[in-house]
Structure 1
Amino acid sequence: MHHHGGGMLGPFSLDSALTWSPDWPFLVGCLVALGLYGAGVVRLVRRGDRWPVGRTVAWLLGVLTVVAVTCSGLNDYGMVLFSAHMMQHMVLSMLSPILLLLGAPITLALRALRPAGKGRPRGPRELLVALLHSRYVRVISHPAFTIPLFIASLYGLYFTPLFDTLMQSRIGHLAMMVHFLAVGLLFFWPIMGVDPGPHRPGHVMRILELFMGMPFHAFFGVAVMMATSQLVTTFTMATAPPGTDLMADQKMAGGFTWAFGEIPTAVVLVALVFQWAKSEQRQATRTDRAADRDGDAELAAYNAYLASLEKRGSRPAQAG
């Protein structure tokens, strides 16, 4: 159990936040995520396919950010300090998902999983494709669902008794962390657009989607900073590290939330601009190629027409 007795945790500092303190469900999950991804990449490479190194690096970093906030002292402090908890929340909902999505795990899975042969029952690849096309995924990955969900995860959690209820049990805390990660992944999936999904908005729409969620996020941070009373009852003087000013800590949590919103926005914008430039370039080369091809096709057709005329003209008309 991770609940330390009162006063066992010293004052919150970078050193204490970085100590190794594994939360087993997360550690195991992260190792599995790395293992599966690695196996997929190895299979592609053995087959002679290429997989961009950048994607592997992004995935690795994404998994490491999850480990960093769940298997460290930060996780222990997240139980007793609002500011530490908010750091976990922000990283899991806004940094890890972006990095993981830049790793293009769905694309990797679709390319690495072997299709089931004809007449065989559907394999994992077929199930994944079916899932991607399912109505369920179409709904939960639609911006009209993901944006409100993203916003509700902030306001609904901290401005209602829900947070305090969940924090009472280890399972509740775990579920909350998994939820943050899942909501982040859903929110950024159509926006990052590296992986196939039911919704493929254009680049302008993606930027709009990104900016639709952010003001709510910033406003939430400001609201927490401005609050004159404690928003959540979980964090008390009894459990907090000695010398903690709970209101100051809450202000810090709000400030962190408010400031952190800028980080993913910047990362996503840079990624989107790169993708946009690349797709424009690809579009241009495709148009050029298509023009050449059409030109060739017309020429070939014209030559065939001439040849047919010659044939018709030279051969005597056959009697009916």
Structure 2
Amino acid sequence: MDHGGHGMTMDLPPFTLGRGLEFTGEPFFLIGSVVAVALYGWAVVRLRQRGDRWPVSRTVSFVTGVLTVALVMCTALNEYGMVMFSVHMVQHMVISMLSPILLLLGAPMTLTLRALPSAGRGRTGPRELVVALLHSRYMRIITHPAFTIPLFIASLYALYFTSLFDFLMGSKAGHIAMMVHFLAVGLVFFWPIMGVDPGPHRPGYVMRMLELFAGMPFHAFFGIALMMATEPMVSTYAHPPSSLGLDPLSDQNAAGGIAWAFSEIPSVIVLVALVFQWYRSEQRQARRTDRAAERDGDKELEAYNAYLASLQARGR
């Protein structure tokens, strides 16, 4: 394996799905995935031990999200992604658009706040630090759409259409840092939109949908730009290993098609989740209104009965 020049060169057999899914155990993401699942499981067990319930669907969603990260980073997909633009784009799309949605639907922040004990009045413990972070000015800035949408877009255009991508792909550390960035950007972008966990920026459901659709077209345009390009746009993938028997321009066009098609999948998932959350919210509001109406009705009935009693007393 050579780390010199533009990225890595390695002898790999032609790509097949079976070869791509072979476990390689990239240490950074493997350890991160195991720790994430272990901490989440510990918090769920802690809630259960004290008699609190935690939805199984949230646990399944979070674990599935972690597994999608491990799937693209801890298998041979990661190695092929260093020399094939199309495979790299699958990694990018999954880790920045699918994994964050699944992780956020698992409500890890809500679980953390429920599992951590309160330090008591006047004291500061882990739970209080998390609450302070959620209400901090820093968090208000990075979850505001004026920040999240440009960051989401810049992560595509400023990275792939400048020399920054080639620089990061020139080393293993740079590649890992780029993938961590993709995951972080996805989490920051979808967090205010999904609205499961508490956060400083929590717009109405219509505004959340607008935020979602404000970013997605740029993904589609990016994919179309790659599909229509007549020459390789990224030096890293301009000279793939001869063992792959790969035409770099065809592979770049395939990468563009993946980016274009993938912009639709998260949109549908998030839209379905938002509609469901909206429906649940309306149901809760209707129940609260009904209970308030019942209480008001009871008060009116009590007042009427008191009035009748006063009339009866006067008659005596």
Pick one of 143, 148, 165 that aligns with 2:167. 165
Aligned partner of residue 230 in structure 1, secondary structure: coil
Pick one of 291, 296, 301 that aligns with 2:298. 296
Q: Deviations over 1:32-85 (max 9, x none)?
A: 100110001001111111101100000010000000000000000111111111
Distance 2:293 2:312 in 1: 29
Distance 1:5 1:255 in 2: 24
Number of aligned residue pairs? 311
Distance 1:6 1:143 in 2: 39
Distance 2:152 2:31 in 1: 26
Instruction: Give the equivalent residue in structure 2 for 1:18.
Output: 21
* 2:8–2:171 contact (8 Å) kept in structure 1: no
- Seen in structure 2, the aligned counterparts of structure 1 residues 301 and 197 have a Cα distance that, compared at 3 Å, is farther
Distance 2:35 2:142 in 1: 25
Distance 1:6 1:150 in 2: 29
| Amino acid aligned to 2:52 | D
Distance 2:247 2:270 in 1: 35
- Seen in structure 2, the aligned counterparts of structure 1 residues 131 and 304 have a Cα distance that, compared at 3 Å, is farther
Q: Are 1:28 and 2:47 counterparts?
A: no
* 1:80–1:240 contact (8 Å) kept in structure 2: no
Q: How big is the shift at 1:299? A: 4.5
Q: How big is the shift at 1:309? A: 11
Q: How big is the shift at 1:117? A: 1.8
Q: How big is the shift at 1:86? A: 0.7
Instruction: Give the equivalent residue in structure 2 for 1:59.
Output: 62
Q: Which has the larger radius of gyration?
A: 1
Distance 1:198 1:241 in 2: 51
Q: Deviations over 1:140-195 (max 9, x none)?
A: 00111101100000011001111001111111111100000000001110111111
TM-score, structure 2 normalization: 0.93
* 2:140–2:200 contact (8 Å) kept in structure 1: yes
1:63-102 pair list within 5 angstroms: 63-102=66-105
Q: How big is the shift at 1:237? A: 2.5
Distance 1:227 1:239 in 2: 21
- Seen in structure 2, the aligned counterparts of structure 1 residues 153 and 60 have a Cα distance that, compared at 3 Å, is same
Instruction: Give the equivalent residue in structure 2 for 1:209.
Output: 211
Instruction: Give the equivalent residue in structure 1 for 2:251.
Output: 249
Instruction: Give the equivalent residue in structure 2 for 1:316.
Output: none
- Seen in structure 2, the aligned counterparts of structure 1 residues 200 and 2 have a Cα distance that, compared at 3 Å, is farther
- Seen in structure 2, the aligned counterparts of structure 1 residues 188 and 7 have a Cα distance that, compared at 3 Å, is closer
* 1:77–1:85 contact (8 Å) kept in structure 2: yes
- Seen in structure 2, the aligned counterparts of structure 1 residues 73 and 126 have a Cα distance that, compared at 3 Å, is same
Distance 1:10 1:109 in 2: 44
Instruction: Give the equivalent residue in structure 2 for 1:227.
Output: 229
Distance 1:93 1:250 in 2: 19
* 1:151–1:213 contact (8 Å) kept in structure 2: yes
* 1:80–1:236 contact (8 Å) kept in structure 2: no
Distance 1:185 1:266 in 2: 17
* Paired-residue identity, %: 68
| Amino acid aligned to 1:284 | A
Instruction: Give the equivalent residue in structure 2 for 1:41.
Output: 44
1:119-198 pair list within 5 angstroms: 119-120=122-123, 122-198=124-200
| Amino acid aligned to 1:98 | I
Query: Where in structure 2 are there 5+ consecutive unaligned residues?
Result: none
Q: Are 1:115 and 2:118 counterparts?
A: yes
Distance 1:179 1:308 in 2: 73
Distance 1:145 1:294 in 2: 45
Q: Kindly report the root-mean-square deviation, in angstroms, between the aligned alpha carbons of the 2 structures.
A: 2.2
Q: How big is the shift at 1:252? A: 0.4
